[in-house]
């Protein structure tokens, strides 16, 4: 035992004796921890950490004041030189006094702590005082502090609480421990221009605090500071070694450089007075200390958690979260796709013709009420069903539905307009991109047949997504007279992969997720929605395909692919026309082309 340690033990024995003689009935126990408890006390260098746990709270301030006064009296008697270290001594400088007050509030360099019941839960190793609870949760590494009480604490009076302390050391507790030196060091840099000596003092404490906290973080302990540094060096050295046939590869690298490790030794020498720094060296040490603490924190995190096993766990966890996120986002995107905001029907059919009637018919398979208008053109028995595009009701101003109906009526064609399910005035249901809407179109066709129109006297003009829906409906209405496909798509997959970025800001790979949920929730089989494949089943049927060569929504290549699947069909490419803009671009020629087609395919 050193002379300094003998001195502090005499000091503590007299201090505890005087406190217990006067207030013994109020005290549960007195426990010492820190360098004095470890037998490492050095006069003028070390402080003491003495905790007095009370039985009752009524005399806390009185006992704290008495104990502090006795402490300083004994300091003069034993010449322990605590005035060089502790913050309870007033200074002549205003800034020093301010910093000392900060130290007291943070409980740095304070020798005696007096706690009434209800402030600390010793058995569960946590701070329970309501005022301190937020700081205890987010800032104070309470479990590690209580662990020090348990492992190195020395009972000076009263019952021995140490065996009852059961700290739970979690990652969060370790994380808080390595954050404290970071904040102390950062504070040192901030006050560096105003209080150089204080900045060095705080940086020294931060570095030495970091050394202990770092080893606590990785679960290593050493008997002394020098051994602590060596242990930290060993723990932050990594070796990669591989053997392949006759080739032996070995790479050793240090997460902390030798210069950074020397900072810990330098801090220890500064604290013990073995090393004195000039002003320039002091400023350099303060900034260097901050950097070393940051580097040490990241190095020990890597040391403890960046293991092969943990990396595999992290990759698996990341993969699971990525897959979960993929399917959750896909589900949300599908929900948005099948539940678009409906567009109200604000159009007076009398603007087209006075000779019309409101009609309601049932969808082919699920008996939804489908609403529409039937426009009559004299006694002609030929009727055209106009099929709208994506999200539109029976009137699509972008296509020019109203004007086209007028032109068809002038050419002696009856016209049926209707709203798909969930649009306009029809009964609500999800938008299924044509999968269920095909039953609405089949219902419209069946409605006309039931009114007495011949199958081969019924034609369909469909645009955009409606063109795809029409081809999906074809197996249900194989005897239809003729079909015009304006700006149609050839494959639902390529369509959705093109549409996803615009509709939901998702990249094309999310198609699989959409397809999965569409089938699982709505029984929609997207893989069966390939118009080009359906066309191949009707090689004897002639269709009219129309596409604008400036279509940026559905490329002209889709109609080309459709035409290849239907050898007898005609593909008409309209120059300078955009998506579903062929009629608007050259309306007269459009009507002539369409009516000529229907006159050809519908028997005279």
pLDDT digits (tens, 9 = 90+) for 187-230: 999 989 988 988 998 899 899 989 888 888 888 876 666 788 88
pLDDT of residue 581: 96
Query: Residue range 374-388: average pLDDT?
Result: 92
Report in angstroms the alpha-carbon separations of 351 from 355, 356, 375, 406: 11, 11, 12, 9
| DSSP code for 128 | -
pLDDT of residue 240 exceeding 80: no
Please give the pLDDT value at position 327: 95
> Which of 479, 481, 518, 478 has its CA nearest to residue 496?
518
- Res 516: pLDDT: 94
Residues 242-281: tens digit of each pLDDT = 666 666 666 666 778 888 889 999 998 888 888 999 999 9
What would the two tokens of residue 154 be?
A: 């020395």
For residues 405-427, give the mean pLDDT: 95
DSSP string spanning 166-227? -----HHHHHHHHHHHHHHHHHHHHHTTT-HHHHHHHHHHHHHHHHHHHHHHTT---SSHHH
SS3 422: coil
In whole angstroms, give the CA distance from residue 418 to residue 25: 93
Read off the pLDDT of residues 225-238 as tens digits, 9 standing for 90 and up.
678 888 888 877 76
Q: What is the pLDDT of residue 223?
A: 67
Instruction: Please tell me the predicted confidence (pLDDT) of residue 44.
Output: 85
In this structure, what DSSP letter does residue 498 have? H
The answer to whether 76 and 85 are in contact (CB under 8 A) is no
Give dist(CA 153, CA 174) in Å, integer.
20
> Taking Cα atoms as reference points, which of 574, 499, 583, 485 lies closest to residue 534?
485
- Give the per-residue pLDDT at 139: 85
Q: Are 184 and 205 in contact (CB under 8 A)?
A: yes
- Return mean pLDDT, the chain: 89
Q: How far is CA 151 from CA 162, 163, 326, in A?
A: 8, 9, 49
Residue 103 token pair: 């130290």
Crossing angle of helices 258-272/196-217, nearest 10°? 120
pLDDT at residue 604 above 50?
no
What is the enclosing helix (H) or strand (E) of 261? helix 258-272
pLDDT score for 250: 65
User: Which residues lie below 8 Å from residue 237, measured CB to CB, with a gap of 6+?
Assistant: 252, 253, 254, 255
Dump pLDDT digits (tens) for 136-160.
888 888 888 898 899 889 999 999 9
pTM of whole model > 0.85? no
Query: Are 466 and 500 a contacting pair, CB within 8 Å?
Result: no
DSSP 470-497: HHHHGGG-TT-SEEEEES--S-HHHHHH
Q: If you average pLDDT over residues 383-387, what whole number do you get? A: 97
Distance of alpha carbon 155 from alpha carbon 152, whole angstroms: 10
- Mean of pLDDT values over 349-358: 95
The pLDDT tens digits for 297-324 are 888 888 777 777 877 888 899 999 999 9
Give me the residues paired with residue 574 across strands. 548
**Residue 366 CB partners (closer than 8 Å, separation 6+):** 429, 436, 439
Q: For position 379, what pLDDT does the model report? A: 73
Pairing, β 247-254 against β 237-244: antiparallel
pLDDT tens for 3-39 read: 999 999 999 999 999 999 999 999 999 999 888 998 8
Residue 77 CA to its chain's centroid (Å): 62
Confidence tier at 84 by pLDDT (50, 70, 90): confident
On the 0-12 / 13-18 / 19+ scale of CB atoms within 10 A, 61 is: exposed
pLDDT attached to residue 349 = 96
Q: Which residues contact 423 (CB under 8 A, 6 or more apart)?
A: 342, 343, 388, 391, 392, 393, 394, 431
In the prediction, which pLDDT does 64 show?
92
pLDDT at position 219: 80
Cβ–Cβ under 8 Å, residues 14 and 73: no
> Following CA atoms 4, 5, 6, 9 in sequence, which dihedral angle do they give, to the nearest 10 degrees?
120
């Amino acid at each position: 035992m050193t002379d300094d340690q003998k001195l502090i033990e005499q000091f503590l024995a007299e201090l505890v004796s005087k406190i217990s003689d006067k207030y013994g009935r109020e005290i549960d126990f007195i426990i010492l921890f820190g360098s004095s408890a470890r037998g490492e006390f050095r006069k003028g260098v070390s402080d003491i950490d003495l905790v007095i746990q009370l039985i009752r709270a009524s005399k806390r301030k009185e006992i704290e004041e008495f104990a502090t006064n006795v402490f300083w009296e004994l300091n003069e008697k034993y010449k322990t030189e605590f005035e060089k270290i502790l913050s309870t001594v007033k200074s002549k400088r205003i800034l020093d006094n301010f910093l000392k007050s900060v130290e007291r509030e943070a409980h740095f360099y304070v020798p005696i702590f007096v706690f009434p019941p209800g402030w600390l839960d010793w058995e569960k190793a946590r701070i329970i005082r309501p005022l301190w609870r937020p700081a205890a949760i987010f800032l104070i590494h309470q479990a590690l502090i209580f662990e020090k009480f348990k492992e190195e604490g020395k009972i000076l009076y009263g019952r021995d609480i140490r065996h009852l302390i059961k700290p739970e050391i979690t990652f969060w507790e370790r994380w808080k421990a390595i954050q404290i030196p970071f904040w102390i060091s950062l504070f040192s840099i901030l006050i560096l221009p105003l209080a150089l000596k204080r900045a060095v003092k705080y940086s020294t404490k931060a570095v030495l605090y970091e050394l202990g906290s770092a080893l606590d973080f990785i679960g290593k302990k050493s008997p002394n500071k020098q051994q602590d540094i060596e242990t930290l060096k060993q723990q932050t050295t990594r070796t990669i070694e591989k053997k392949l046939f006759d080739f032996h590869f070995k790479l050793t690298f240090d997460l902390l450089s030798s210069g950074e490790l020397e900072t810990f030794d330098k801090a220890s020498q500064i604290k013990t007075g073995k090393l004195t720094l000039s002003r320039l060296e002091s400023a350099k040490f303060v900034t260097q200390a901050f950097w070393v603490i940051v580097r040490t924190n990241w190095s020990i995190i890597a040391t403890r958690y960046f293991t092969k096993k943990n990396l595999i766990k992290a990759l698996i966890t990341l993969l699971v979260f990525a897959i979960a996120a993929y399917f959750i986002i896909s589900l949300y995107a599908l929900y948005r796709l099948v539940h678009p905001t409906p567009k109200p029907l604000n159009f007076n059919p009398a603007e087209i013709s006075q000779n019309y009637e409101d009609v309601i018919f049932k969808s082919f398979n699920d008996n939804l009420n489908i609403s529409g208008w039937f426009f009559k053109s004299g006694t002609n028995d030929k009727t055209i069903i106009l099929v709208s595009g994506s999200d539109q009701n029976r009137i699509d101003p972008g296509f020019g539905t109203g004007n086209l109906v007028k032109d068809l009526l002038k050419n002696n064609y009856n016209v049926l307009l209707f709203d798909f399910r969930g649009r306009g005035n029809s009964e609500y249901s999800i938008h299924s991109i044509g999968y269920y809407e095909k039953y609405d179109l089949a219902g419209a066709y069946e409605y006309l047949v039931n009114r007495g129109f011949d199958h081969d006297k019924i034609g369909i003009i469909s645009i955009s997504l409606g063109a795809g829906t029409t081809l999906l409906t074809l197996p249900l209405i194989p005897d239809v007279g003729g079909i015009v496909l304006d700006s149609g798509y050839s494959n639902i997959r390529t369509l959705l992969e093109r549409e996803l970025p615009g509709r939901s800001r998702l990249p094309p790979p999310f198609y699989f997720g959409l397809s999965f949920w569409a089938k699982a929730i709505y029984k929609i089989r997207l893989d069966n929605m390939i118009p080009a494949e359906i066309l191949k089943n009707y090689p004897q049927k002639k269709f009219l395909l129309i596409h604008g060569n400036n279509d940026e929504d559905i490329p002209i290549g889709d109609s080309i692919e459709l035409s290849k699947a239907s050898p007898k069909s005609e593909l008409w490419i309209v120059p300078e026309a955009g998506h579903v803009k062929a009629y608007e671009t050259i309306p007269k020629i459009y009507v002539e082309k369409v009516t000529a087609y229907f006159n050809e395919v519908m028997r005279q």
